Amino acid sequence: MKKILAISILLFIGLTVLAGYLFPQELSPILSLIIDWGILLIGTAVLIGIGYLIKRHISLISQREKQNFLSIILLLAFISTIILGLIFSFNHPVFTDLMINVQYPVETSLLAILAVVLLTASFRLISTRGWTPMSIAFLCSAVITLGLDAGSIYLGSGGAGDVILNFLRRLPLVGARGILLGMGLGGLIVGLRVLLTIEKPYGE
């Protein structure tokens, strides 16, 4: 019974949204309702995710796992952020400054580490992958693109040089579009399989 109900809801929602593209005027109230429900569910899912996070770190602390002091720091930061957010509203400058001066630099630092990691990985490209056509093509394409973006390669404006440079700039996009076409096809098939209940990736 549970399965039938889930599948029925899935079919109704999916087909309604699909039909909404064909008949927007006739179905706009239902579509608005469905979008509202979807937003509510997504917000609830975020809360569920946060609940999982808290539960996980509490279990790490209680089981005295390795480096559980990091979990203690996380829980303390979480609790203090909640308290500050409740005391000062979301729009309060104290709360806003806390976010801007703590969260943003942390995320930016992660990106900085990413830059170093990518640099190290680029050095190991051939030793990891070997001299294959794919790795050689990747190497050449990356070096040329980096040179173009850095402005190190400049053949003057107008004329054949400009045409060649534009061609080289656009060439990687061709491969990327090919990949995207394939991803689109694959996504279409996966979506149809779920809609037609041939596949139930969410479990039985």
Partner 1 sequence: MTEKITCPECGAENLEDAEFCIVCHAQLREDSTLAFVDPQQSDQDGFDLLNGEEDDLPGLLHALKQEDEAETAEDKSQENELPSITPEDEFGKEDIQEDEGIPGWLDRVRQRATEEEDSTGEITQKISAAKESLKGDKRSTQHENFETWIQKLRGPIGGGFDRDPEAGDSSDELEEEQEEVQEKESEWLQKIRKAEGKQNVTEDQRILDHGENGLLNWLVALEDGEEDRSGEQGEFDIKTEEDQESDEVKIDESAATQEIPVDERPLSVRIPPKLSVTDEDRSQADQLSSMILDENAPRPVRVIKRRSKLGAARFFFAVLLILSMSLSLFIGEAVVNQSGPIQPHTDGFLSWIKDLEEGAGILLIFDYQPAYSSEINLIASPILIDLVSRESDLNLLSSSMSGPILQRQLIGDIPGLDTDSITDLGYFPIGAYGAFGLGMGISADWQIVGLPESARAFPDGGFDSILILSDTYGGARAWIEQLTVLMPDTPINLVVTAQAMPMLVPYFDSGQIIGMVSGLNDGVILETELSTGVMIGMRRRAYQGGLVILAAVMVIGAINAGNQNGEEGGAA
Partner 2 sequence: MNWSILGWGMISVAIILLVVFTFRFKNGKSYKVRKNTQMEGLNKSRIAKIEGGLHRTIVLGHQLSSSAYPGLGLNSLAIVPGILDPETLADGKLNISTSQGSLMVFVRQIVENSYQNGFSKALTQRGVNTVLPGPTVYSNIAGLVCELGVHPQHGLILAGNFGPEVSLLSEVCVSKNGDVFAAAGTITSQAALFPQVENLVMGENNFMLPGLLTPSPGRDAGWLTEDILRILLIFMIIAAAILKMVGVL
Q: Are 61 and 71 in contact (CB under 8 A)?
A: yes
Does position 175 interact with partner 1 (CB under 8 A)? The reply is no
Q: Are 16 and 34 in contact (CB under 8 A)?
A: yes
Single residue of 9, 18, 43, 55 touching partner 1 by CB under 8 A = 43
Rounded to whole angstroms, the Cα distance separating 90 from 84 reads 9
Looking at residues 103 to 122 of the shown chain, list those that interact with partner 2 (rule: CB under 8 A): 106-107, 110-111, 113-114, 117-118, 120-122
Single residue of 4, 25, 67, 69 touching partner 1 by CB under 8 A = 25
Rounded to whole angstroms, the Cα distance separating 123 from 116 reads 11
101: which DSSP letter? I
**Looking at beta carbons only, is 62 or 147 nearer to partner 1?**
147
**Looking at beta carbons only, is 67 or 120 nearer to partner 1?**
120
Rounded to whole angstroms, the Cα distance separating 108 from 101 reads 11
Does position 25 interact with partner 2 (CB under 8 A)? The reply is no
Single residue of 15, 18, 35, 48 touching partner 1 by CB under 8 A = 35
Quote the tokens at residue 178: 């090919």
Does position 2 interact with partner 1 (CB under 8 A)? The reply is no
Quote the tokens at residue 145: 């693109």
Looking at residues 95 to 114 of the shown chain, list those that interact with partner 1 (rule: CB under 8 A): 96, 99-100, 103-104, 107-108, 110-111
Which residues contact residue 13 at a Cβ distance below 8 angstroms, ignoring those fewer than 6 apart? Answer: 34
**Looking at beta carbons only, is 155 or 176 nearer to partner 2?**
176
Does position 180 interact with partner 2 (CB under 8 A)? The reply is yes
